[in-house]
């Protein structure tokens, strides 16, 4: 996702040097879908197959439908992203896609299928730096693409989080991304401490229970299953090594408190292209204020110790008439007074103690 996104942004920035995108196909694009929210038009918007202007949340015993204000929630499928990127990156503009396995990266080039490919800049989303900061938590999720005999899904409103699922195995919620009334991606998501083994049986049981008890889908078929354990890290990744810049999840673009990366990668890709154009190098990248990393780390510390706190925190952040204040905060675009307002309703002593502990450590 980050390699394709960067290629498109380089193309529109009129980058005149040859660009090679290397992928070994180990994660087929047809299996990938990214959802994200955004309040501004983006270069790759044409890749979105669905747009939503409302979300549903179920928290603290209540279901609420929230408008998104100036935001839109959208879904991008892997093959649609590749098709839109291809429009910008034809070979006439010096872009090539190469099927190949990256064995290693060195300053000055990449080893692809045993051959050295010389490159002035390398953007690495597959190998990563030798030293990465330790994970603060992990996001364990398992999703089913289901087909239900009865029309049980609301085709117009995705469910961002629904806490009607057991909390025994970590701070957990279910996420529902509908395609139509009969089809949806239903995902069980848990924030757990680093190194916690994935309990596949419990995840499947929770999904089945949600589908029958909450969604009301007694007769359904599982068409596809996806699962992952994403390491969540509040500390900044070490991104620059000589002429190599890590991008995507390895570049620390996963937001530690949500596990979302798509929109952050789009912003990062635009900034890399702009830096190359302006300075002749890709390293002049904006850095968000450090307090957002502290907030992410503190939330992870609190919810991995006390799972019930996740529902309280999400309930506080999404308590307004629209989801816009919460989404703006998660986008790291709020001011300090706005953040204090958002935090009211969270147990101050718990969070302040966790913040103090983290700062001292």
Ligand X SMILES: Cc1cc2nc3c(=O)[nH]c(=O)nc-3n(C[C@H](O)[C@H](O)[C@H](O)COP(=O)(O)OP(=O)(O)OC[C@H]3O[C@@H](n4cnc5c(N)ncnc54)[C@H](O)[C@@H]3O)c2cc1C
39's tokens: 């309040």
**Cβ-count burial of 263 within 10 angstroms (0-12 exposed, 13-18 middle, 19+ buried)?**
buried
Of 245 and 354, nearer to ligand X (C-beta) is 245
Distance in angstroms (rounded) separating the CA atoms of residues 67 and 56: 9
Minimum CB–partner distance for residue 2 and ligand X (Å)? 3
Minimum CB–partner distance for residue 66 and ligand X (Å)? 19
Q: What angle do CA 341, 347, 352 make, to 5 degrees?
A: 85
Minimum CB–partner distance for residue 99 and ligand X (Å)? 9
- Total residue length of the chain: 361
Of 36 and 304, nearer to ligand X (C-beta) is 36
Minimum CB–partner distance for residue 114 and ligand X (Å)? 12
User: How many helices (H) and strands (E) in the chain?
Assistant: 9, 18
Of 2 and 275, nearer to ligand X (C-beta) is 2
Minimum CB–partner distance for residue 326 and ligand X (Å)? 16
Are the beta carbons of 225 and 186 closer than 8 angstroms?
Answer: no
CA 66 from centre of chain = 21
Minimum CB–partner distance for residue 61 and ligand X (Å)? 27
Q: Label the pairing between strands 62-67 and 122-124.
A: unpaired
94's tokens: 């010096």
Q: What angle do CA 70, 73, 79 make, to 5 degrees?
A: 140
Of 21 and 294, nearer to ligand X (C-beta) is 21
Residues that bind ligand X (CB under 6 A): 1-3, 22-27, 34-36, 101-102, 125-126, 226, 228, 248-250, 254, 259-262
Of 13 and 127, nearer to ligand X (C-beta) is 127
Minimum CB–partner distance for residue 175 and ligand X (Å)? 9
Distance in angstroms (rounded) separating the CA atoms of residues 1 and 268: 12
Of 80 and 306, nearer to ligand X (C-beta) is 80
Of 1 and 273, nearer to ligand X (C-beta) is 1
SS3 assignment, position 190: strand
Position of minimal CB gap to ligand X: 248
């Amino acid at each position: 996702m980050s390699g394709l996104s960067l290629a498109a942004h380089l193309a529109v920035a009129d980058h005149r040097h040859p660009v090679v995108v290397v992928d070994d196909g180990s994660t087929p694009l047809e299996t990938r879908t990214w959802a994200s929210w955004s309040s501004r038009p983006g270069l790759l918007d044409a890749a979105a197959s669905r747009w939503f202007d409302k979300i549903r949340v179920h928290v603290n015993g209540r279901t609420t439908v929230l408008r998104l204000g100036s935001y839109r929630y959208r879904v991008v499928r892997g093959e649609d992203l590749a098709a839109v990127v291809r429009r910008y990156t034809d070979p006439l503009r010096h872009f090539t896609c190469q099927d190949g396995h990256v064995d290693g990266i060195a300053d000055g080039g990449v080893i692809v299928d045993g051959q050295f490919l010389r490159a002035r800049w390398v953007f690495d989303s597959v190998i990563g730096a030798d030293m990465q900061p330790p994970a603060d938590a992990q996001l364990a999720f398992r999703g089913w693409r289901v087909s239900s005999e009865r029309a049980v899904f609301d085709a117009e409103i995705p469910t961002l989080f629904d806490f009607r699922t057991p909390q025994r195995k970590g701070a957990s919620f279910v996420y529902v991304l509908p395609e139509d009334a009969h089809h949806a991606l239903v995902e069980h998501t848990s924030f757990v401490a680093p190194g916690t083994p994935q309990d596949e049986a419990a995840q499947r049981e929770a999904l089945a229970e949600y589908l029958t008890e909450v969604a009301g889908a007694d007769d359904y078929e599982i068409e596809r299953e996806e699962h992952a354990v994403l390491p969540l890290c509040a500390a900044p990744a070490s991104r620059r090594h000589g002429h190599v810049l890590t991008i995507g999840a390895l570049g620390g673009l996963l937001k530690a408190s949500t596990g979302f990366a798509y929109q952050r990668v789009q912003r990062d890709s635009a900034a890399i292209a702009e830096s190359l154009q302006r300075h002749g190098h890709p390293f002049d990248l904006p850095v968000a204020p450090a307090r957002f990393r502290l907030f992410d780390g503190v939330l992870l510390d609190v919810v991995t110790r006390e799972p019930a706190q996740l529902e309280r925190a999400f309930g506080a952040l999404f308590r307004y008439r629209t989801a816009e204040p919460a989404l703006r905060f998660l986008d790291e675009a709020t001011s300090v007074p706005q953040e204090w307002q958002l935090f009211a309703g969270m147990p101050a002593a718990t969070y302040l103690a966790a913040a103090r502990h983290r700062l001292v450590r």
